[in-house]
Structure formats: structure tokens, C-alpha cells
Structure 1
Amino acid sequence: MHEGFGPAIRLAVLTVSDTRTKETDKSGQRILELAAGAGLGIAEYTLCTDDAEAIHSIVAGWLLKPGIDAILTTGGTGIARRDVTLEAVRPLFEKEIDGFGELFRYLSFAEDIGTKAVLSRAAAGTSGEKAIFVLPGSTGAVTLGMNRIILPEIRHILHELTKHR
């Protein structure tokens, strides 16, 4: 339990994919599984296609909901034409957490991706008292981002965002 966040930090999870369903969404399910294992709650979980307006609308709506502390997206972070998650979400950042993407790419490079890590556009930022994490769509990337960065730091990040209360 973390002071100021009740029994659990509550996450909203968005999977961005033109082909996945809740039944086939291994990356989204992995986020839910790792979050539950860390004692975090899930306030929302949905999927949408690689459509910038839809992505932006869902995340912007979640930013207005008081029962959500952090938003995680998975998918649409590459360099292909249909990869628009970062373009849809970045305008919602009040502050970008540059170190998240830098560390994510470093860990990806060091662990097994090698120089292909330069293609990752994983990012994070804040909006009001909420944190937003934009993760790649692979299960390995989600596992790395959750285990190595998000889960160890989420309480500290949210503390920093809310300590002025």
C-alpha cells in the first residue's frame, strides 16, 4: 500500500493493434498479470486500432477519470506508417520523462535486441497527477518495461506527482 493511493495504484491499459482481440492480446494480458502480481489495480482495459484519433480520445478520457493513477499503452511505437501511438499520446504530456525511453532502449539493446533498439519509440510522460507509459507491442518489450522500469518506479513517480497535495 502506498500513502495517498489507497489499497492499490489503479492502471488503465490500452492495447493498440489492428489485429488483436482481448483473447489474443498477449501483451495487454501480460501487463495485467504483472500489475496484479505487484498489487496494482486495473481500472480500465481496452483495445483500439492503430488510429491516432481513437488512441488520443481514449487516453484523454482516462486522464479525466479520478480512479486512474497511471495509463499504459502497448503497441504502435515503431516506425511503420501505421505506428501512431506516440503521435496520438505525446500531445497529452505536460512533461516528458525522457529517461524512460532512454533507459528502455538501453535495456533492450543490452538484453537481447541489439541495435534494433534504436527503432523503439517507447516513451513516458505526465499529465496532471497521472503518469503515462507508451510501450512497444511485443510481450518481451512489455515484460522488460514493466519489470525493469515501471514496477520499480511507479510509486515514486506518483509520489512526485502528488506530493503537493
Structure 2
Amino acid sequence: MSNLTDNEKKKSIAIAVLTVSDTRDKDTDKSGGTIIQMAEDAGHHIEDYRICTDESVEIARNVEEWLGNSSIEAIIITGGSGIGFRDVTIETVTPYFTKTIDGFGELFRFLSYTEDVGSKALLSRATAGSIDEHVLFALPGSSKAVKLAMEKLILPELHHIVHELTKHRK
């Protein structure tokens, strides 16, 4: 049972979306587009959307800029979370975490395993954490994985997470 009021449940969350890719642009970014469409369909709004290369300095620059924007409540990153040499998203964002949300990665891998990915799910390093009053999700670059994370985990809990991170203001 949620402790959120009806107004809190209806509140549109301000989201920043970052696609980490050396090959995508806004016309070919299916995963970023999926995040945007699903978030907007759920009544949230996209405060900013960017694409950057698989470079720690570029990822960090975007995250730091968004963390300095008090209107942004959630950051969702897609791409760069695998085990390949160029995959540096996880190493870049986790040092910013005030608190990790371990259950997100655990549940994401479980759902991935049971939804046709099978044992390949163990390669996922998807993670989430709070950074002061912001929440950050780091997802794989696959649009199927993004859809799964948004549908089953992020969208159902986003209001509650933001509420928990900001309720001390009241």
C-alpha cells in the first residue's frame, strides 16, 4: 500500500535521458526514444535528452550538469552498461551514488532471465541509485531491455522513489 497522496501520484516527474553510444543519433536511437515515449505516456515530462559517446568524461559532464538542475528529479541512462571494453557507464555513475538501489539491478536481471534472455542476463550490470534528491537508472542499450525496465520497474515505482528522496522537505 502506497503512502502517496493522490496529488503526489499524479505529479509529473521531470526526467533527463542520456543515450550512451558511439553510433546512435536522435534518428536512430530506439532505446532513448522508448524511454521518452513510455515516460510521456505515463504522464511524466522529459526535461532534457542527449546522446554522448562511450567516454567517462562525456557521461560525467552530462550527469553533473543535470545534478545541478534542481528541476530534474530522475536521470535515465541507456547504453554503455555491458562488459565490453568501451562500456564505462557503470564505472562513471556509481561513484556519484549517495545510496545504491540494489534491488533494481537484482530484479532487472531476474526479469531478464525469465523473459527469454536466459543465462545471458548475468552479463547485465544495470544499476540504480540515489544522488541526494535525484534518482539515476543505468540501463542496457537494448530497446527490449529498456522496455522491460521501464514497464516493470521504473514507471511503477518512480513516484514512490522521488517521494522517498524528497519527503524530508515537507
Residues of 2 paired with 1:160 and 1:43: CA distance? 21
Alpha carbons of structure 1 residues 149 and 6: separation in structure 2 relative to 1, 3 Å: closer
Q: Which residue does 1:94 correspond to in 2?
A: 98
> Could you tell me which residue of structure 1 aligns to residue 29 of structure 2?
25
Matched, 1:164 2:168: yes
SS state at 1:12 partner: strand
Structure 1 residue 67: Cα displacement: 1.3
The counterpart of 1:147, out of the listed 144, 151, 161, is: 151
Question: 1:25-104 residue pairs with structure 2 within 5 A?
Answer: 25-104=29-108
Structure 1 residue 42: Cα displacement: 0.4
TM-score where L is the length of structure 2:
0.94
Q: CA RMSD in A?
A: 1.3
The count of corresponding residues between Structure 1 and Structure 2 is 164
Q: Which amino acid aligns with 1:57?
A: R
Alignment-derived partner of residue 108 in structure 1: 112
- Find the aligned partners of 2:7 and 2:145 in 1 and give their Cα distance: 26
Q: Distance in 1 between matches of 2:25 and 2:18?
A: 12
Deviations 1:47-106 (A, max 9, x none): 000001110111111011011010000000100000000111111111000000000000
CA change 1:26–1:2 in 2 (3 A) is: farther
User: Structure 2 stretches of 5 or more lacking a match?
Assistant: 1-5
Q: Distance in 1 between matches of 2:98 and 2:38?
A: 27
| Alpha carbons of structure 1 residues 163 and 47: separation in structure 2 relative to 1, 3 Å | same
**Structure 1 unaligned residues grouped into runs of 5+:** none
Q: Alignment partner for residue 134 of structure 1, among 134, 138, 153?
A: 138
Identity of aligned residues (%): 56
Q: Is the 8 A contact 1:2 1:155 kept in 2?
A: no
Poorly superposed stretches of 4+, deviation over 2 Å: none
Letter in 2 for 1:39: G
Secondary structure at 1:118 match in 2: helix
Cα contact 1:2–1:8 (8 A) shared by 2: no
Change (3 A) 1:16 1:2: farther
Partner AA of 1:153 in structure 2? E
